């Protein structure tokens, strides 16, 4: 998968519905938890993934927060 810059990633995420964004947030939070848990037991191969997950979750929450109530329910 080609690396997306932040603007393209933001546009891609903006095209998702609110329910899809919420599901993706939960998936990333679970992945973050699993990485932290694995990191306590052994070395994590990709430390940059922590930051990437945190920023993606922040982008998704920003998109959800900027949607109008009628658009957020669709």
Is residue 46's pLDDT more than 70? yes
Is residue 21's pLDDT more than 90? yes
**Least confidently predicted of 18-22, 47-51, 54-58:** 47-51
The pTM score is 0.73
- CATH number given to 6-72: 1.10.287
Is residue 1's pLDDT more than 50? no
Domain ranges in the chain? 6-72
- Secondary structure (DSSP) of 1-15: -PPPPHHHHHHHHHT
Q: What is the pLDDT of residue 11?
A: 84
């Amino acid at each position: 998968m080609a690396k997306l810059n932040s603007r393209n990633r933001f546009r891609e995420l903006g095209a998702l519905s609110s329910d899809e964004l919420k599901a993706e947030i939960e998936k990333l939070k679970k992945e973050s938890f699993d990485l932290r848990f694995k990191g306590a037991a052994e070395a994590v191969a990709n430390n940059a993934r922590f930051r990437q997950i945190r920023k993606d979750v922040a982008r998704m929450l920003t998109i959800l927060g900027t949607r109008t109530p009628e658009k957020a329910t669709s």
